Amino acid sequence: MLCVGTALVAQEVTPESKGETTPAPATTPKIATPQHVRVSQGVTTGLLLKRVNPKYPPKARENGIQGTVVLHAVISQEGDIVDLTTISGDPLLAKSAIKAVKQWKYRPYLLQGKPVEVDTEIQVNYTLSGG
């Protein structure tokens, strides 16, 4: 007598065993708060806590030099000026403007309730009074 048997082995069928991939569970993506934002001068003016006025350079005054100095500023999360460069303006006036603006202090700019570093422009005007 010849017995031929068939053994049945239970095997779990998974997507991987069929060559398929399992989709990742659905999650809500988290939106990261930027660490650095560009803000207009009008907004940063409203955050200004301490302003040091620049001294008019005597040589610029003697030569009748006046005008606007435009500075690029980076304000830290704590409200301190951490980087300051001249965009435009007379070099005699720019030196004085930078010296003053480096001392300015701002309230932290909040984005989604967290302080962030701010990239902005600051204009410093120099006008000779007549007389």
Q: Dmax of the chain from CA atoms?
A: 130
Residue 64's domain comprises 36-126
CATH number, domain at 99? 3.30.2420.10
Domain total for the chain?
1
Cα(14)–Cα(85) distance, rounded to whole angstroms?
62
Domain assignment present for residue 8? The answer is: no
Residue 28 resides in a domain: no
Q: Would you say residue 84 lies in a domain? A: yes
Query: Considering the domain boundaries, does residue 88 fall inside one?
Result: yes
The least confident of 13-17, 74-78, 115-119 is 13-17
- Each residue's pLDDT tens digit, 1-50: 333 333 334 444 455 555 555 555 566 555 666 678 898 888 888 999 99
Instruction: Tell whether 107 is covered by a domain.
Output: yes
Contact 98, 86 (CB under 8 A): yes
Which one-letter amino acid corresponds to residue 128? L
pLDDT more than 90, % of the chain: 63
Q: Which residues pair with 72 in a beta bridge?
A: 85, 121
